[in-house]
Each structure stands twice: as C-alpha cells, then as structure tokens.
C-alpha cells in the first residue's frame, strides 16, 4: 500500500485526457496534475529546452511527494524521457510507451502511421518502442505542427482543418496503414476530421487514453495502490492563468475543477 499521489504533467491541458482515464480506472488514487501553460507548446522547441522543462516539471511533482510520474505530453515523453528515465527515485511512464504498445497490439497488416509534433517525430521514439513490441512493424511518420494551433482555436472539423488534414496525412493514407497513432495529446480532438479522411478501416490510437490501462499492468507489481478517497483527492497546478485552465480543464474532465487550480512559478524548480 502506498498512499502517495500519482503525478501527471503535460505542456498544457491535453494531459487531462490521461488524468480522466486514470481517475476512471483507479478511483482510489490521488492525483496531482501540472500543466505548463506558461511555456506551452513544447513540440516546436529544441531538445535541450524540452529536457530542461521536463526536469523542472518532474522536480515540481517530486516536491508534491508523488509515488510515480506519468508524462502525458507526447513531446516530453519522446524527446526527453528516454534520457532521464533512470535519474529519479520514482518510476516515470510516458504516453509513447503505452501508445506504441496498443498500436502494436491492434495492427493486422503491420503498417502503422505515427503523427505528432516536430520534436516527437524527430526523436524517433515511437519507432524504438514499436520495435520492442513487434519487430515486423513498418512505420510511416509525419510531423503535423498546425494541428495544435487548430485545436487550440476550436478548428476541430472545419474546412480549414480538412485541408490541413489532407496535406499532412496524404502520404500516410497512401501507404495503406491500418493503424494511426495520434502522438500528441491535442490530436484526439481532431479525431472526427482525421477519421473521415483516413476511413473507418484505420484504427486511431490515442496514447493519452491508453496510459491508464498501461499503468494497471504496472501498479500491481509495484504494490503502489492507494486507499485514500476524499474531497482533496485531485489537485491541479499551472504556470499561467488559473481562469483559462479551470474553464477548459472542466471541459476536458467533464467535471468542474474551479477552486482546485493553483498557479506556481515553475522556473523555481
């Protein structure tokens, strides 16, 4: 038994998708979430800066006495996690591992598409994890840097989004993949537009949703279950305005989080 919290972080809001799944699969666990809204996005930055920000985020969560950390950010999971994984005293899981695991499990023709931020695609991290789970897999990758701003501006399924989806996904579609990894926590919000273009036969994998199932395999061996369940079970921290996060976060989680969000100076960690 370990009553300490599970720490989750993302560059912004998107990681709340993972939080929602963890809440649902592990109702007895306490969760502390950090969204680095003052420095989002990570996906366009250099590896060096992504590493620095990832260290800050992990150090903040460690200061909250967590028993494990989930990196819900596709960019930090792929560009930073492989390098820093063993430097801390708590286990750290990323969405890349869980997304690769699920994609390798569901593909039938072993052709998998991977989309993500520029930094995620550049890291090649999905390929490495996929090769561990299924060495017959052939991958087709594409960085989709306009997807995050489209989501953040409410362009979920508009004519603009349709044009951008076509531009980015044409080669992957033509390659005949039967599985597509949405390797950034923002992308599931474009599922409808992506699915219309790729067709019903292509399975879309959202790593943020898979990470909770993945944790279930990990938490039992760690004997890290918790049995605390109270009003203060969930807490949220951000590095920019609380108001924006409360409003949009509530939509992501489908529950009000007003009054539970605090602002921190992440540059101090």
Through-space distance between the first and last CA atoms of the chain, rounded to whole angstroms:
29
Number of residues near a copy of itself (by CB under 8 A): 27
Q: Are 100 and 133 in contact (CB under 8 A)?
A: yes
Residue 64 annotated to the active site? no
For a copy of itself, give the closer residue by CB, 100 or 242. 242
Q: Which neighbouring-strand residues pair with 68?
A: 6
CB of 240 vs a copy of itself, minimal distance in Å: 5
Smallest separation (angstroms) from a copy of itself to the CB of 118:
9
155-177 burial, b at 16+ Cβ within 10 Å, e below that, comes to: bebeeebeebbeebbeebbeeeb
Token pair belonging to 83: 């390098």
Report the residue number, 5 or 155, with the smaller CB distance to a copy of itself: 155
Nearer Cβ to a copy of itself (132/167): 167
Among 45, 67, 111, 186, binds a copy of itself (CB under 8 A): 45
Q: Is 27 in the site for a copy of itself (CB under 8 A)?
A: no
Binding status of residue 247 toward a copy of itself by CB under 8 A: no
Which single residue is written with the structure tokens 């996906």?
A: 43
In the complex, minimum distance from the CB of residue 153 to a copy of itself, in angstroms, rounded to a whole number: 5
Residue 243's Cα: distance from chain center in Å?
Answer: 22
| Of the candidates 80, 139, 79, the residue with the CA atom closest to the CA atom of residue 114 | 139
CB of 39 to a copy of itself, least distance (A): 6
Is-catalytic flag, 184?
yes
- Our finding on whether 262 is near a copy of itself (CB under 8 A) is no
Give the Cα-Cα-Cα angle 50, 133, 68 (nearest 5 degrees). 50
Regarding 153 and contact with a copy of itself (CB under 8 A), the answer is: yes
83 lies in the binding site for a copy of itself (CB under 8 A)? no
Radius of gyration of the chain (CA): 18
The least distance separating a copy of itself from the CB of residue 268, rounded to whole angstroms, comes to 9
**Residues 6 or more apart in contact with residue 23 via CB below 8 angstroms:** 29, 31, 234, 253
Task: Verify binding: residue 82, a copy of itself, rule CB under 8 A.
Answer: no
Shortest distance, position 49 Cβ to a copy of itself, whole Å: 5
Q: Binder to a copy of itself among 157, 178, 244, 260 (CB under 8 A)?
A: 244
Task: Please report how the helices 125-133 and 95-106 are oriented relative to each other, as an axis angle in degrees rounded to 10.
Answer: 50
Residue 144: which residues within 8 A CB-CB, separation 6 or more?
Answer: 115, 116, 117, 164, 168, 184, 187
Does residue number 49 form part of the binding site for a copy of itself (CB under 8 A)?
A: yes
Identify the active-site residue in 23, 70, 73, 261.
Answer: 73
Toward a copy of itself, which CB reaches closer, 49 or 195? Answer: 49
Length reported for the chain: 269
Which residues are designated catalytic? 73, 184
Site residues (vs a copy of itself, CB under 8 A): 37-39, 44-46, 48-49, 145-146, 148-150, 152-153, 155, 159-160, 163-164, 167, 239-241, 243-244, 267
């Amino acid at each position: 038994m370990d009553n300490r919290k599970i720490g989750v972080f993302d560059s912004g809001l998107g990681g709340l998708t993972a939080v929602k799944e963890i809440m649902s699969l592990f109702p007895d666990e306490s969760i502390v979430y950090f969204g680095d809204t003052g420095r989002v996005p990570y996906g366009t930055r250099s590896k060096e800066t992504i590493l620095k920000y990832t260290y800050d985020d992990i150090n903040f969560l460690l200061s909250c006495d967590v028993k494990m950390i989930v990196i819900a950010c596709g960019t930090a999971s792929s560009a930073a996690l492989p390098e820093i994984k063993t430097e801390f005293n708590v286990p750290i899981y990323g969405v890349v591992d869980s997304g690769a695991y699920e994609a390798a499990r569901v593909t039938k023709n072993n052709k998998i598409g991977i989309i993500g931020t520029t930094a995620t695609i550049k890291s090649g991290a999905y390929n490495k994890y996929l090769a561990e789970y299924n060495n017959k897999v052939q991958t087709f990758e594409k960085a989709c840097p306009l997807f995050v701003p489209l989501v953040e501006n409410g362009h979920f399924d508009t004519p603009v989004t349709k044009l951008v989806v076509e531009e980015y996904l044409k080669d992957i579609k033509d390659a005949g993949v039967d599985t597509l990894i949405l390797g950034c926590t923002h992308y599931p919000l474009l599922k409808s537009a992506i699915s219309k273009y790729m067709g019903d036969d292509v399975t879309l994998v959202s790593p943020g949703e898979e990470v909770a199932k993945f944790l279930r395999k990990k938490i039992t061996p760690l004997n890290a279950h918790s049995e605390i369940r109270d009003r203060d079970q969930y807490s949220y921290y951000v590095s920019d305005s609380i108001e924006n996060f409360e409003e949009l976060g509530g939509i992501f989680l489908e529950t009000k989080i007003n009054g539970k969000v605090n602002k921190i100076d992440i540059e101090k960690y």
